[in-house]
Structure 1
Amino acid sequence: MKTPTAITLHAKSRVLELAFGEGEVFRLPFELLRVYSPSAEVQGHGPGQEVLQTGKREVTIVDLEPVGHYAIKPSFSDGHASGLYTWDYLYELGSQQDAYWKRYEQRLAEAGADRDALMVARSSGGGSCGV
């Protein structure tokens, strides 16, 4: 497990900066963190259940709390506060940031969605997600 040696929240530029050993520094935009939240609300409960996030370009982090010695839990300005970002996941987001952005843009294009459009709740005809 890679553990950050420093975490800096840059509120004005909306970037979370993480320093890891051997001089690795990643600057993760809040938008990227929000659209790739590891929460079930965003990731779903299994493969293919991911929920495309839009309208998150201006999102900010209003609170950042540590979770043990393995993760952080940001609270975003849009009310989202349920994702636990492990050190490994943050390292992956940082080291593969370009690929994550490309995947996000591809998913937007496939959905005919705009990055800045507000999300519209889509109904699948009722039911619940429980069993």
Structure 2
Amino acid sequence: MAGLDRKTPIPTEITLHKKSRTLEVGFDDGSRYTMTAEFLRVYSPSAEVRGHGPGQETLQTGKRNVEITALDPVGNYAVQPTFSDGHNTGIYSWDWLHHLGADHDALWAEYLERLETAGASRDIDSTTLPPKSGGCGSH
């Protein structure tokens, strides 16, 4: 986490909209962001997604229909969502949530570009596909 300080915008309202699969966050600086569960899942701050350093990120695929099934507070500085695919190790600090909201459009475009470059899909989780096999029987 980047670290909270007195300049970090603090949420004044966090609303999980289960039907639309969005999280709405209003901050004390007057900003308000609505982010989809898919967006939050692919930008999870967890080591599983981000790795332990630059270049170690894991491209998240097949997350179009993911939902947030639970949202738990973490002290006075973050929330920890549980996603319908079982992912629950990301701790979203206030500064991370604000960053995701403020930079949403650029981050989303970057994610879609990474998917396209990898030949991956928002609908198919390529991390769980069995390996392709060749050999006999294919003519």
**TM-score normalised by L of structure 1:** 0.89
Q: Root-mean-square deviation (CA), in Å?
A: 1.2
- Count of equivalent residues: 122
> Unaligned 5+ residue runs, structure 2?
1-7, 130-139
2:124 equivalent among 109, 117, 122: 117
2:81 is paired with a residue of what secondary structure? strand
Tell me the equivalent position of 1:85. Answer: 92
Q: Deviations over 1:90-112 (max 9, x none)?
A: 00000110001011011111111
2:11 is paired with a residue of what secondary structure? coil
Distance 1:121-1:49 versus aligned 2 partners, 3 A rule = farther
1:94 equivalent among 85, 96, 101: 101
* AA of the residue aligned to 2:40: L
CA–CA separation in structure 2 for the residues paired with 1:120 and 1:49: 15
Q: 1:117: Cα distance to partner?
A: 1.3
Distance 1:41-1:22 versus aligned 2 partners, 3 A rule = closer
* AA of the residue aligned to 1:11: K
Tell me the equivalent position of 2:25. Answer: 18
Tell me the equivalent position of 1:74. Answer: 81
CA–CA separation in structure 2 for the residues paired with 1:87 and 1:53: 22
1:57 equivalent among 43, 47, 64: 64
Q: Deviations over 1:46-95 (max 9, x none)?
A: 11010000111111111110001000000000000000000000000001
Q: 1:121: Cα distance to partner?
A: 4.7
Structure exhibiting the larger radius of gyration computed from Cα positions: 2
CA–CA separation in structure 2 for the residues paired with 1:83 and 1:27: 18
